[in-house]
Structure 1
Amino acid sequence: MRPRLPPLAALRAFEAVARLGSVSRAAEELGRTHGAVSKQLQALRVDAGAPLFDKVGTGLQPNAAGRQLAQAVGRAFDDLGQAYAEVVREARAPALRIACSASFAMGWLVPHLPRFSELHPQVRLQLSMTSAREMREDRDADLVILWDRSAHPPEDQARAIRLADAQFGPVAAPGYPLERRDGALRVEQRIVHDHTAGAWALWSRLSGLSLDAPAQISFPHTHLCLQAAVAGMGVAVAERRLANADLAAGRLVAVAGFAPFADGFAAIPHRTRPLSPQAQVFLDWLAAELDGG
């Protein structure tokens, strides 16, 4: 059970008068009238059952009991003020805005973010989940996380910070009809990402396998490509981390292995804002987390 507290409304008036030695100056600081502050002091004196001030000239001076209470109230106000300032600072601190594909956010980043929050609770993140095309047009994000930066302006590519390797490979539902022979992978239908269609050509060049697919279907997000593959609509090429959950659950199988893409995952910082300490903390964590799978 908490000990009985004094009238809290009167403590601000009491502390100000004890510190300033004057009801008038305390009233001015608090934005109250002289009479209102006097009434608060009187209420506190009645509640305490003893006077807390002695009159000295035209001012007031805490007596022994008043000094004891003033010291305790001053410490409590200092602690409260510091704690509240910290809460306000954190609440008003600008969030670190991260732009990435919706597929990367849902398939990998968000499931890993609780670890980041545990390690760095002071860093506030704001995720902007979008398509690869829209990321190229984003000018507000502090960091853009991506693997394919070939379509970005040269100045953005030059500022890119490499984070980790990326490995891509074809995946399909178990039992999906395909044939691998004479350096070619033959499938009925290829699933293509609308905005990173070059992933198939890059995988083919790196793996040494050509792709023979008479039909093609496309989607704007990787997770839709993967869901189409799970549904047996064709073969998709995807980054290993984004396909891991479906591979582990047996909904997909890797039909020809994964090939490392040289550029790997990278972050493009904002064009004009310098890299903040919070952004560097996030980049260091992201690089280590991606390296761990």
Structure 2
Amino acid sequence: MTARPPFDTLIAFEAVHRLGSVTAAASDLGITQSAVSHRLRRLEDFMGLPLLTRSSAGMRPTPAGEALASGLGELLAGLGELRARCRAAANNGPLRVGVSAALADYWLVARLPTFKAPSTPIELIIVESTAQAIHLDLDITIHWLLEGEARETSTQRVLFREQIFPVCHAGLLPSAPLDDPTRIAALPLIHKGAGAGANAGTEWSWSTWFARLGLHAPAPVGLRYANMATAIGAALQGSGVVLTRSLLAHDALIDGRLVRVLPETWDMPSSKVHLVRWPAVLASDARVKAFVAWLLDAANECVR
């Protein structure tokens, strides 16, 4: 019988190779750094060769490690589809959908009651955490990718192309949109991202918007939130003006909870698009087909 490397050692090696450090791999796997190092040593003992070396740029594979890594990603991806294969054969389990918290809270949840299965009822499980989605075997995932990375294939479809624009609570700007766009400088701004300058040069940067508006002063420092869902929540509470996307603001604009700060002519196209993706083994699954078709129709209703 052919000797097989311990599975947990392969998982540790893949994480270190992918992330470039034992620390990052430990965080990704939810184990200690010493546990990762121990698994790497076990794998090297099994192979009889060093697989990784430490450099100033982090952990780097040796030639033997690179040879292992070249086939390991495809192997683990295949193993990751085992649960999907079982569910596809049973064809009666719940459908697990991974989506960002912002898209779920401000767009998807309100529309889910309109989803009707073609025949038998479908139990839906919505996973809102990106971190959870990485580690769970999901049937459908909605990704937020650079447009150049988003292409349609047999296992994925482009869902929405959105515009970026500033919005705020109606009470903060009773006469919206602004007649003089430069007056936005007098309003409190809500920032999104890890820190100052994190989104510089993009459609999500207030500096970019100030430059477009001909405002030479730097954008004022204000409240900063790490994710879009919380930033929009702050705007809904009247905390300030936030840069948002078409779908996330759609319902709140319709019912008047949010208003546009600038005329639509100032909108900027998003550099990212939403992409819905599913495992190849579920390509012919009636539940997946039904949900994806419904998702596309729901998105089209909002962009007409």
Query: TM range, normalised to the smaller chain?
Result: 0.5 to 0.7
- Within a 5 Å distance, the mapping from 1:269-288 to structure 2 comes to 269-270=278-279, 273-277=281-285, 278-288=287-297
Cα distance, 1:170 vs structure 2? 0.7
Separation in structure 2 between the aligned mates of residue 114 and residue 281 of structure 1, nearest angstrom = 14
Q: Deviations over 1:172-225 (max 9, x none)?
A: 123647978687952544323337964982267799547852113222443321
Q: Equivalent residue for 1:173?
A: 169
Q: Describe the shift of the 1:182–1:189 C-alpha distance in structure 2 as closer, same or farther (beyond 3 A).
A: closer
What SS does the aligned partner of 1:201 have?
Answer: coil
Separation in structure 1 between the aligned mates of residue 143 and residue 200 of structure 2, nearest angstrom = 13
Alignment check: 8 A CA contact 1:187 1:235 kept:
no
Q: Please tell me whether residue 106 in structure 1 is matched to residue 105 in structure 2.
A: yes
Alignment check: 8 A CA contact 1:97 1:128 kept:
yes
For the aligned residue pairs, the C-alpha RMSD in angstroms reads 4.3
Q: Describe the shift of the 1:110–1:200 C-alpha distance in structure 2 as closer, same or farther (beyond 3 A).
A: farther
TM (normalized to structure 2)? Answer: 0.51
Which is richer in strand? Answer: 1
Separation in structure 2 between the aligned mates of residue 221 and residue 203 of structure 1, nearest angstrom = 12
Q: Describe the shift of the 1:130–1:282 C-alpha distance in structure 2 as closer, same or farther (beyond 3 A).
A: same
Q: Equivalent residue for 2:276?
A: 267
Separation in structure 1 between the aligned mates of residue 200 and residue 284 of structure 2, nearest angstrom = 32
Q: Describe the shift of the 1:163–1:179 C-alpha distance in structure 2 as closer, same or farther (beyond 3 A).
A: closer
Alignment check: 8 A CA contact 1:189 1:213 kept:
no
> Unaligned stretches of 5+ in structure 2?
1-87
Q: Describe the shift of the 1:130–1:203 C-alpha distance in structure 2 as closer, same or farther (beyond 3 A).
A: same
Alignment check: 8 A CA contact 1:172 1:254 kept:
yes
Alignment check: 8 A CA contact 2:162 2:273 kept:
yes
One-letter amino acid of the counterpart of residue 137, structure 1: I
Q: Equivalent residue for 2:203?
A: 202
Alignment check: 8 A CA contact 1:189 1:233 kept:
yes
Q: Describe the shift of the 1:240–1:276 C-alpha distance in structure 2 as closer, same or farther (beyond 3 A).
A: same
Separation in structure 2 between the aligned mates of residue 254 and residue 140 of structure 1, nearest angstrom = 39
One-letter amino acid of the counterpart of residue 116, structure 1: F
One-letter amino acid of the counterpart of residue 109, structure 2: V
Alignment check: 8 A CA contact 1:142 1:269 kept:
yes
Percent of residue pairs identical: 25
TM (normalized to structure 1)? Answer: 0.53
Bigger-Rg structure (1/2): 1
Q: Equivalent residue for 2:83?
A: none
Q: Please tell me whether residue 228 in structure 1 is matched to residue 234 in structure 2.
A: yes
Q: Which has the higher contact order (CA 8 A, sep 6+)?
A: 2
Q: Describe the shift of the 1:170–1:160 C-alpha distance in structure 2 as closer, same or farther (beyond 3 A).
A: farther
Q: Which runs of 4+ in 1 moved over 6 A?
A: 154-159, 177-180, 204-207
Q: Describe the shift of the 1:157–1:208 C-alpha distance in structure 2 as closer, same or farther (beyond 3 A).
A: farther
Alignment check: 8 A CA contact 1:187 1:213 kept:
no
Cα distance, 1:227 vs structure 2? 2.3
One-letter amino acid of the counterpart of residue 96, structure 1: L
One-letter amino acid of the counterpart of residue 124, structure 2: L
Q: Equivalent residue for 1:123?
A: 122
Q: Describe the shift of the 1:155–1:286 C-alpha distance in structure 2 as closer, same or farther (beyond 3 A).
A: closer
Cα distance, 1:108 vs structure 2? 1.6
Q: Deviations over 1:19-62 (max 9, x none)?
A: xxxxxxxxxxxxxxxxxxxxxxxxxxxxxxxxxxxxxxxxxxxx
Alignment check: 8 A CA contact 1:200 1:237 kept:
no
Q: Deviations over 1:103-122 (max 9, x none)?
A: 22222212211221365544
Q: Please tell me whether residue 213 in structure 1 is matched to residue 219 in structure 2.
A: yes
Number of residue pairs matched by the alignment: 200
Separation in structure 1 between the aligned mates of residue 152 and residue 212 of structure 2, nearest angstrom = 27
Q: Equivalent residue for 1:141?
A: 138
- Within a 5 Å distance, the mapping from 1:64-79 to structure 2 comes to none
Separation in structure 1 between the aligned mates of residue 164 and residue 239 of structure 2, nearest angstrom = 19
